[in-house]
Structure 1
Amino acid sequence: MRILVTGAAGFIGSALLCRLLSDVDSGDVTGLDLGDAPPAASGRRLSWIRGGLDDRAVLEQLGAAPFDLAFHLASVPGSRAEAEPVLGRRVNLDASLDLFQLLAQSRNRPRVVYASSVAVYGALSDAPVGVQTEARPAITYGAHKRMVEIALADHTRRGDLSGIALRLPGIVARPRPVSGFGSAFMSELLHALAAGERYVCPVSPAATAWWLSARATVDNLLLAGRIDCCGTLQLPALRLSIAEVVAGLARLYGPERSALVTFDPDKAIEAVFGRYPMLDVRAELALGFSHDGSPVELIRNALRA
């Protein structure tokens, strides 16, 4: 089996790459990213392509031999895509469509796992959210993610790809320094309290968000690569308040850690990242997709070296 991972040096991509390489039965893996291969990823089964999918020469390299399975994780993050719409379109939309076309030309109907985003939903109400919720993206990043979901579904309908798109929530804990994301506080809170550092939280104790560890995310990506299911799915995640996360940190590291947190809510951040409703993921749970189980397990998984 030949496997492709785009965005393979990123937060989730590097974790996925290492898991694939640790499984001797997973086959040969090609990693693609703008940077070098992660130090933890090595071995004769790994091939590395340094470059971007918006580079025609890179696509030509990828087209040299067919892939059986592709994990498409590469993207320009939301804040940068909003600030640089031409770059966002070139990478998040155009390059994704070019990759799907390239994979479709192999005629072996490869399995494609696409990392979509909850950004496709746009503004949220109090109603539970799932794939049945109307997608009304409010930012360019979410719009492009939805467009690519549709393109993957069309390739699957035509029979030249076997596609599954997973809508990812906020994933923790991104390595320090955590920057460039409106939801950065979710990772920074975990890092700070685990290290015994004081932290000023930009949302209130009652603010709720969807939490999923990188470890659980990789488990779900691997499941998506092997099950016989196509279409768009919402990944399960824990809906937790900041108070519940702080309580979990106190259970793991001692009750005194709770006193390290003070709150200075930013209305703009809380409006976007602190009012998440329940998720309706009954169908996804029935398929075997999962979240971390509890706040304590989320923290353990998120901070596991």
Structure 2
Amino acid sequence: MRVLITGANGFIGRQLVLRLLETGTLRGRTIDALLVVDRCLGALPEDGRLRRLPGDVTESAVLRRALADGVDVVFHLAGIPGAIAERDYELGYRTNLLASLELMQLLRAQPSPAVLVFASSVAVYGDDLPPRMNGEGDLQPALTVGAHKQMVETALVDLSRRGELDGRAIRLPSVVARPDGTSGLLSGFMSDLLNAFVRNTPYCCPVSPEATGWWMSVRCCVANLIQAAELEVDSLRSRRVWQLPVLKLSVAEVIEGLVELYGEERRSLITHAPNPQLEAAFGAFPPLRAPQARALGFSHDRNVASLIRNALTPPGAPRRGRPQVRVKESLQ
């Protein structure tokens, strides 16, 4: 089997590479070649199955080279984060929209439809969210990145209907814990909070303790991406886009979980200086249920303690012993 990952050297991409190299199989078949595309690939491990294809996905020649010998499964993770795409519209347009459409056009030329897993985003819903959601919310993007993700979802569904792709799109929430200050995401404070607490360094959080968000660890995210690829066509029931289950947690709940794991003495590390605009956009997420996705095997991190452990122990890394905490599973 030949598997392609775009954005392979990104935060999520690197962990997906490690997980696939560790398991060595996908969809019941051995992975013979793992093709990885990104502008820089130096952080990835040495492995005979890796085929490194350095380059930018906005360059058609890079995508054509990646697909020259055919692929069976594609994980399309490459993209420009929301804050950067908002500042530089042309960059976001070329990367998040045009490159995604070009990839799908090239995949159409294959003799048989490839499985395409597209990393979409909860940004498709916009800011004006209802009091409760079930994964069927209206799409009203408030940021360019959300508008582009919605457009790609539509193209993926159409090409899957035509039998030219076997597409699956999953809408990701904020995924933690990203390296400090490198994400370009407006929700980057969620990772910064975890990282500061673990390093035992002060952190001024730009939202209030009451701010609520949809949280997911990178370990859980990678498991959901693989689950999307594993689904068989007869289980899709004509659906091609899913809202993933999430943990809806307040910043205060996350801090309590960190205190339970790392000690009360660290609580004073965290102070708050709320940014009203940021909190309005990224601190008022309602409860969300995703029964259709859960029925297909997608999952969240269960509870805040598991979220923290999974966020700080990415795929491919041994789990380190931490204090045991009894926390009831979330019903979100």
TM-score higher than 0.5 here? yes
Pick from 36, 40, 43 the counterpart of residue 38 of structure 1.
43
1:1-305 maps to which residues of 2 (within 5 A)?
A: 1-25=1-25, 26-27=30-31, 28-39=33-44, 41-178=45-182, 180-228=184-232, 229=236, 230-304=239-313
Question: C-alpha deviations, 1:160-182, integer Å up to 9, x for none?
Answer: 11111000000000013445322
Question: C-alpha deviations, 1:219-272, integer Å up to 9, x for none?
Answer: 000010011225100111100001100000011001122222111111111111
CA distance in 1, matches of 2:46, 2:95: 27
Residue type of the alignment partner of 1:60: R
CA distance in 1, matches of 2:15, 2:117: 15
CA distance in 2, matches of 1:180, 1:108: 37
Does structure 1 conserve the Cα–Cα contact (< 8 Å) formed by 2:176 and 2:217? yes
Shift of 1:128: 2.1
Structure 1 gap segments, 5+ residues each: none
Residue type of the alignment partner of 1:52: D
CA distance in 2, matches of 1:102, 1:178: 31
The sequence identity of aligned pairs, in percent, is 47
Question: C-alpha deviations, 1:57-106, integer Å up to 9, x for none?
Answer: 21220231111100000011111111111121111111111101111210
Question: C-alpha deviations, 1:144-201, integer Å up to 9, x for none?
Answer: 0000000000110000111110000000000134453221110111111112222211
CA distance in 1, matches of 2:312, 2:67: 37
Residue-pair matches, total? 304
Shift of 1:21: 1.1
Instruction: Give structure 1 regions of 4+ aligned residues with deviation exceeding 3 angstroms.
Output: none
Check 1:179–1:9 CA distance in 2 against 1; reply closer, same or farther (3 A cut): closer
Secondary structure in structure 2 of the residue aligned to 1:29: strand
Secondary structure in structure 2 of the residue aligned to 1:153: helix
TM-score, L = length of structure 2: 0.89
Structure 2 gap segments, 5+ residues each: 318-332
Question: C-alpha deviations, 1:116-137, integer Å up to 9, x for none?
Answer: 0001001233432343111011
CA distance in 1, matches of 2:273, 2:179: 23
CA distance in 2, matches of 1:126, 1:165: 22
Does structure 2 conserve the Cα–Cα contact (< 8 Å) formed by 1:124 and 1:276? no
CA distance in 1, matches of 2:34, 2:83: 30
CA distance in 2, matches of 1:240, 1:92: 28
Residue type of the alignment partner of 2:194: L
CA distance in 2, matches of 1:96, 1:125: 27
Residue type of the alignment partner of 1:203: V
Does structure 2 conserve the Cα–Cα contact (< 8 Å) formed by 1:16 and 1:218? yes
Residue type of the alignment partner of 2:59: D
Q: What is the RMSD of the two structures over their aligned residues, measured on CA atoms? A: 1.3
CA distance in 2, matches of 1:127, 1:65: 48
Residue type of the alignment partner of 1:5: I
Does structure 2 conserve the Cα–Cα contact (< 8 Å) formed by 1:178 and 1:187? no
The answer to which of 182-191 and 208-217 deviates more is 182-191
Does structure 2 conserve the Cα–Cα contact (< 8 Å) formed by 1:13 and 1:73? yes
